[in-house]
Structure formats: structure tokens, C-alpha cells
A and B are shown apart, each in its own frame.
Chain A
Amino acid sequence: MSFLRKIPLKVILVSIPIGLSILCALFSPLFSPHDPLQTDLGKRLIPPVFQKGGSWKNVLGTDPIGRDILSRIVYGSRVSLTVGLVATFLGSLIGATLGLISGYFRRKTDSIITKVMDIQLSFPTVLFAIFVVAITGPKLQNIILVCGITSWVTYARVVRGQVLSIREKEFIEAARGIGCSIGRILTRHVFPNIFSTMVVIATLDIGRIIVLESTLSFLGLGVQPPTPSWGGILFDGKIYITQAWWITAFPGIVIMMVVLGFNIIGDYLSDLMDPYTKQLMEAVGK
């Protein structure tokens, strides 16, 4: 376990909320004290335990139709983490593939892919996501797809930049010389060299996607009720903010802790990498 000692305390600390939320998503019934969908009009707007009128039965209070906030947050982690992880994977897959192609083949293919990247960058992300989800409908697969599409450009740009320099190296020339196919060169010789960069971008991007998903939910364009999601709880609590602060406060704290965690881990990972990659990523506007 000696390698653990080299990791800064900050990084270990911020991993705790991430680990907890993953456990919550995997074993929601174990962690939630109540059924997140169970309404009880006799228990409307109960404050959290430390405030007058609160009780240990509903630690973080209840919402206007008597559902337990803690249970809803626990179950809500499923939506947020699923969207965060799947969309990040999707975005990195599209981005890396197009970046590899664009950097390796150059010329026409490169200029077409670069143009598409520029067009996408000229479009504010949140607006794009709102627009697409409003048209295609707020279903889980649409939300994942749109979040993935908003992130591919970052990967594509960085990967393209790296491939441009890697393709001139001797080991690629050697691979070409012994007759490797283009597919083999790209997947077995180029890709392993860009993988660590992709991990860094992905870690930094998960947080952004979780916020994007909760923003969509907050606007009523997320996974539809009654399925709980972190942004959705905030959407429900918005109009009760003057009477029941706990409905909006707690899910937001959870989102912030998880996103902060991913961002700090991402920063740590990118500090471990060479300065060239860091500059490249900053130039992309991460």
C-alpha cells in the first residue's frame, strides 16, 4: 500500500463522496431508509433532524408530498452516475476515434473533421443540450447521447494534436515497414500512447456532464418523474424555497461534492502528466 502514501490527502478525501455515491447507486435499497416514491400527505415538508420539528425518521426532511429527501438522493445517484459515466465513455469513444483518424490521415479527412469541431464549438453547450432534448424528448438514452455529443470535441482536439506528433516517430514507421495494417497501427501502436491523456480529460469531464444532466433535470428536461434524480429534486423544491430550504440545499451539496471530487482528481492526474499535454488541454479551453 506504499503507493497510497504518495497520493495527496486532498485527493483521498475527495474520493470518499465519489465512492459513497457509487455505493449508493449500486445498492440503493440498502442505503435508503424509505421508499423514494412513497408519498405520505401526513408527513408533508418535515424539516431535517437538526431543526425544530425534525426527526430521525426523515433525517434530511421530506418534500411537499411527504417523500423522504435522503432516500430520493440515494436513488437519484443512479441517474446522475449512469449519465455521467456512460456519456463520458461515449464522448471519449467518438472523440478519440475521430481524433485518431483526423490526426493520422490529415489532408481532406482532417479538414472536414476539424470544421465539424469548429462548428460544434461555436454553439453554447447548454443551449445545444436543451434544444436537442426538447425536440427528441426527455428520455434517459437521449440525455446520455446529448451529453456524450457535447464532450467529444475536447477529446478529438487533444488526441489529434498528439497523433500528429506520434505518427512521425520511428516506431510507427517501423510498424508501417513490417506491413502492419492501418487499423493495427492505430489501435495497437498509436492508441496506447494517447490513453493516459484520455483518462485525464475523461475524469475532468465527468463532473461537467453530471452538472449538465442536473441542469437539464432542473429545467424539467431530465429523466421524468417519478424517477428521482439530483437535478429533479431541485426542480421539485424550487417553488418551495421560501418554506422548505432543505429540499434544494441537500441535493445541491451532494452534486457539488461529487463534481468537486472528480475535478480535483482530474487536476491531480493532469499534474502527473507531461507539461506539453497540459498546455494542449488548456488551449482547448478545458
Chain B
Amino acid sequence: MSGDPVVLLLPQDTTKEEIAALRQAMGFNDPQYIQYLRFLGKLTKGDLGHSFHYRQPALKLLLERMPATLQLTFAAMTFAILIAIPLGILSAVKYATGLDTFSLGLATIGQSIPLFWLGLMLMLVFSVFLRWFPTSGRGGWEHLILPAVTLGSYPMAAIVRLLRANMLTVLRMDYVTAARAKGVGEFWIVMKHAFKNAAIPVVTLIGLQVGVLFGGAVVTEVIFSWPGIGRLMVLAIYNRDFPLVQGGVILLAFVFVTVNLTVDLLYGYLDPRVRVGRSV
């Protein structure tokens, strides 16, 4: 373990005896497996331990900041979906045109740009030079835009690429030709016959991207001083406040697993072929 939380907690002039006493009181002298079992025992009761630094239950601190993180990730996902779905559809329909090259280029850059750097550059251009948006903090919608765009750029790129590839495959299917022969308008062919089928893997991707969003939220919150779980956790890491870090990781992994379970269940609804307990 790097960094002793006890030393960081106490003032500079504490004696060695006092440090030893606090170590004993916090249970750091027990063997590691005992400490681990104690942690697991508490976890079953929903107790994530006490934050060393704030001297409050870790779960309470984390839940207080949960709404801010959820708001940010939700806004980012909304941004990603709103931009990516029209772009993905259009670039498949207008395959190998200027529009297609543009959206594919945007997607490639979106997947290559480091998230924290994009955040800093957006802040530099729109907050420092143009003064359109505030640089940091949480408040009205104007505080939300830059962090949401920063965080949503990677999922946006991923959705564009997947949707475009799926649309290209689906548009070549026999049933699309059949619909066309039947005289269905091109708009309805794209939206109803092709998009509905191409969208299924995209739903899975969106579920998996939630994990990416949580990881990215940590960084985005640090850049824009967004008072969410991510920023709390990074500060906790600097303070060697392990219960808080542990609690945050467990909580975010829990939300991630819940979201993906929901997505898997939704899959059965979207695609009748994968419903459990029914033969095709």
C-alpha cells in the first residue's frame, strides 16, 4: 500500500505512540484477510465503511453526489444519441459521399481524442476565449453543456461507426429489396425496415458505453469541477481515503451491472428471437 492514511489524518506534531494507537483503533494492525472479511461482512449490510477524511459514512457521501454524476452521464448520453443516430443513418444511406466521409472522419477523431484534452480545449475556446459558458461548477444548463459534450464524444463516435456498419448490412437484405419492390417510400424503408433492425446491436453498445461514461465522468468532473462521485473519488485517492474509493468503485460497478442487465432484458423485447423459453 502506498501512503499511510493515519499519517495523513493526524497533525504534524503527533507522537509515534498516538499514531500507533490510532492504527490499532482503526483495525489496521489486524491481518489483511481479517480486514477483508470485516469489510465483506459490513458490505452485506450495505455499510461501505467510514471515510477517514470526512468522518462520515462513505455511502452517504457517495449518494449525496450521485445525482450530479447521473445528470452528467445522462446529458452526455443524450448528446451522443441525438448526434450519432442521424449521422449513422445518413452516412449509410449516402454511402461513399462527402457526408459519409465527414461523419466517419468525425467518428475516427472522436475515438482518438483523449477525453480530458477535449475537455480542456472546449473550456479554452468556449469559456476562456469566447466566454460563452462558465469554466466550472454545477448550476443551470450552461454549466452542463461543455462537460456533456466532452463526455459524450466517445460514445457518439462509437455509435456512429456501429450504426453505419449495421445499416450498410441491413440495407442489402432481401426484405429491404422486397419492401422497395412493394413500393414503400425510401424514407419508410430506411426508418422502419432498416433502422429498426440495425438498432438492436446499438442498444447493447449503449449499455456497454455506460461503463466508459462512468470512467470518463471521473476525468470530466475533475476538469470542470463538477461535484459528482468521480471528483469525490479522485480527491479521496489523493487523501488516501480508501473506504471512500472502494465504496465509489463498488457503487459505480453496481450501477453499470444494473444498466447492462436492463439492456439484456430489453434485448428480448426488441428482438423476439432471443426471448428465453420460447422456441422460434
Contacts and interface: CB of A to CB of B under 8 A. Distances in A.
Bound together:
yes
Interface string B108-126: 1101111111001101100
Interface string B237-280: 11000100100010011001100100000000000000000000
Interface stretch (B9-17, B64-72, B206-214): B206-214
Contacts of B256: 122-124
Interface in A217-261: 218-221, 231, 234, 238, 241-242, 245, 248-249, 251-252, 255-256, 259-260
Contacts of A219: 218-219, 222, 234, 237
Interface residues of B, number: 43
B128 A245 contact: yes
Given A124-B256, A130-B218, A219-B219, A256 B120 contact: no
A238 B116 CA distance: 10
Interface stretch (A35-43, A49-57, A132-140): A132-140
A183 interface: no
Interface in B87-115: 108-109, 111-115
Given A127-B214, A220-B238, A260-B112, A249 B260 contact: no
Contacts of B2: 134-138
B108 A260 contact: yes
A282 B165 contact: yes
Contacts of A259: 112-114
Interface in B178-199: none
B162 interface: yes
Interface in A256-286: 256, 259-260, 263-264, 267, 282-283, 285
B215 interface: yes
B227 interface: no
SS class, residues of chain A in contact with chain B: helix
A82 interface: no
Contacts of A285: 205, 208
B117 A263 contact: no
A127 B252 contact: yes
B152 to A, nearest CB: 16
Q: Which of B215, B222, B253 has the most CB of A within 10 A?
A: B215
A241 B260 contact: no
B116 A218 contact: yes
A79 interface: no
Contacts of A241: 120, 123-124, 128
Nearest to B240: A134
Interface string A100-125: 00000000000000000000001111
Interface of A: 122-128, 130-131, 134-138, 207, 211, 214-215, 218-221, 231, 234, 238, 241-242, 245, 248-249, 251-252, 255-256, 259-260, 263-264, 267, 282-283, 285
Interface of B: 1-2, 108-109, 111-117, 120-121, 123-124, 128, 135, 162, 165, 201, 205, 208, 211-212, 214-216, 218-219, 222-223, 233-234, 237-238, 242, 245, 249, 252-253, 256-257, 260
| Nearest 5 Cβ contacts at the A-B interface | A126-B215, A252-B117, A137-B2, A260-B112, A124-B211
18 contacts: A122-B260, A126-B215, A127-B214, A127-B253, A130-B234, A131-B245, A215-B114, A215-B116, A215-B219, A218-B219, A219-B218, A245-B128, A248-B124, A252-B121, A256-B112, A260-B109, A263-B112, A282-B165
